[in-house]
Copies of this chain bind each other. A is one copy, B any other.
């Protein structure tokens, strides 16, 4: 920890000592892979690319918009910040290899908070064998975390625009749990713990992305804004319509419990909830759908997304402005 004491803030500690603490937390989570030719600490990282291409995505998290320190520990913010980026690579059918992380934070932020954030980021990245290879640290009025993730695809990347009428639509991973957790937290409750934990720490089905690519998925996206909203992006990009069969969803018990407690339809969490970073993909034939994926609908001619053939008014999903 390079001499940082409990209770110290970034301002107490100084930029370079904080960077030292961050770098140490990252190293403790995972020894750098052999393709990291130059890691953090120089003007840039140097990374060996064996595949002839890189797949790249960037995301921002802003305090009190994407997370609240009262609801989510620094460690879980780190897990989530990494997860939403790693899921973008999985949604291309790829596997993440490297991340850079920019952190802007007020001077009174505890060093402990930043160290835990770095640990969460690096441990989530380690799940897929990815290294944190660089970043930046600066002062700001509110905490902002900027993550860029790089990866590679063993097959041709799966884009959003390849869905064709007749394709089967399938889902991998938990869906609706994070939204149910957020609904609970928003009312001041802390249970059911399973959904609160799901909100704090999504568990994207990373391996399912490359699996879908190998199975010939025609289009794929990760659910960050909401299932219907993100399928809407696929439908628009592909020039098709998508119809979801709501009867295929078995409502998990914790979502039933939240729905009952809050007077909400638990199916709405599944259809419109985001941030679980489940994967949804289209396949030409039902037989192509890999084990563990749930068939949830069909691609048809037209435009837009329907549920059981009907439009849903709350399908808009999350927008940032």
Contacts and interface: CB of A to CB of B under 8 A. Distances in A.
Contacts of A221: 43
A221 B134 CA distance: 16
Given A49-B49, A92-B44, A104-B144, A14 B57 contact: no
Nearest to A98: B56
Nearest to A144: B144
A138 interface: yes
A11 interface: yes
Nearest to A14: B321
A54 B50 CA distance: 10
Contact of A135 (B11, B58, B150): B58
B133 A56 contact: yes
Interface stretch (A152-160, A185-193, A304-312): A152-160
Q: Of residues A10, A51, A160, A321, which shows the largest number of chain B Cβ atoms within 10 Å of its Cβ?
A: A321
Contacts of A220: 43
A150 B46 contact: no
Chain A interface size, under 10 / 10 to 19 / 20 to 34 / 35 or more: 35 or more
A22 B103 CA distance: 24
Contacts of A320: 15, 137-139
Interface string A49-65: 11111111111101001
B44 A88 contact: yes
Interface in A293-321: 319-321
B53 A45 contact: no
Nearest to A37: B53
B55 A46 contact: yes
A44 B160 contact: no
A288 interface: no
Contacts of A49: 49, 51-54
Interface string A257-300: 00000000000000000000000000000000000000000000
A55 B133 CA distance: 10
A153 B62 contact: no
A220 to B, nearest CB: 8
A38 interface: yes
10 contacts: A43-B92, A43-B220, A46-B53, A47-B55, A56-B134, A56-B150, A59-B102, A60-B138, A62-B139, A107-B321
Given A44-B149, A60-B146, 7 more contacts: A14-B319, A46-B53, A46-B157, A49-B49, A60-B104, A138-B320, A146-B146
Interface of A: 10-11, 13-16, 18, 37-38, 41-60, 62, 65-66, 88-89, 91-92, 94, 98, 100-104, 107, 133-142, 144, 146, 148-151, 153, 157, 159-161, 220-222, 237, 319-321
